[in-house]
Amino acid sequence: MASTASPDAGPHEERRLDAGDGHELFVAQAGNPEGIPAVFLHGGPGSGCQPAHSELFDLSRFRVVLPDQRGAGRSTPKGSLAANTTAHLIADMERVREALGIERWMVAGGSWGATLGIAYAEAYPDRVTAMALR
């Protein structure tokens, strides 16, 4: 994964997705809409994705999905611990993948995001093409 600075390196889409249980997820995408799908899982809990996270990828080659996890970042309700377990977060990842029409994706992340990535890959191994965890 390499950084490429370009005028269109910022998000090409931002949306909100109903996750149930009173939660709404904020999801941004950056890079090439036709590129290799990759999801970046932020650390935290509570922090959320930052624009700099997309810069970890070659944005001419990757379609980077940047979801803010339940209760974190720009997802609502902010800081909520209700219905906010690892199982919920794994289900949310699947909900995001399906909503975006992505069959399989690379899973990348750090800290708590690496742990969540491993848990997701255990639950949905057929949906993961590669992993880059730190």
Question: Tens digit of pLDDT per residue, the chain (134 long)?
Answer: 333 334 455 668 999 999 999 999 999 999 999 999 999 999 987 899 998 999 999 999 999 999 999 999 999 999 999 999 999 999 999 999 999 999 999 999 999 999 999 999 999 999 999 999 99
pLDDT given at position 10: 60
Between CA 54 and CA 117 the distance in angstroms is 17
pTM exceeds 0.85, yes or no:
yes
1-13 pLDDT tens trace: 333 334 455 668 9
Between CA 70 and CA 88 the distance in angstroms is 8
